[in-house]
Structure 1
């Protein structure tokens, strides 16, 4: 079947979930912000909006098992990096999301849809950094 249809379906579901979170909960679907808010406010938030945040994050985590149950196989993943490289990349991404006041999902999916100038700058920075990193790693490492 290729990747076109599953990729389209995934994009539609991401967009739909972001719109639903905004319309039903008044929150922007920035994953780093949702997770940070859940961790920081565990048991201390008087409102019930944290339940929607928890459901949204749980949906992200449960996506692959639901896919496997419905399709009969797990999504194919190929990671060609070492564990130390992945750990370093994860730390750098975490640092970048704090520095940029949001992650690719918040800025790239929701911020661009709202034509947020801050998100446009953030996404351009993400993309430029990613392209530069790949170029340097391929040139330096081979």
Structure 2
């Protein structure tokens, strides 16, 4: 497992904040990725900015991964069907919660949205409970 580097995490957070701020400043749009993907799959010409932003995210990630800070590719022991089911559940949850962690956590909290604060507290609470159950309670029972 790679060691944690707080400078890398801080730099990534700053870049995410700058990109979300620039999108809001120049386009008047919020950088919630689930909403952006949902709008992009409609293939409306007026919504082409969504594709530009999403492709930019992929290119930026690739530049970082392969040129600036190459890391070993992580492996997973999950079966493909479990990841597919998990992906659909995440997609369902983002539609049900009117946004994902990036939309609520980065953009919503930055705009002082109480709805986003409630969503982020819910995300974090369930994440903490999930780690507690899967890493501390279940291994002791099995």
Q: TM-score, normalised by structure 1?
A: 0.83
Superposed, which structure 2 residues align to 1:9-88 within 5 Å? 9-40=11-42, 42=43, 44-45=44-45, 47=46, 50-71=47-68, 74-83=70-79, 84-88=81-85
Q: TM-score, normalised by structure 2?
A: 0.83
Runs of 5+ unmatched residues, structure 2: none
Q: Name the residue aligned to 2:134.
A: 137
CA contact (8 A) 1:65 1:74 kept: no
Q: Structure 1 residue 38: deviation in Å?
A: 0.6
Q: Secondary structure at the match of 2:41?
A: helix
Q: Secondary structure at the match of 1:82?
A: coil
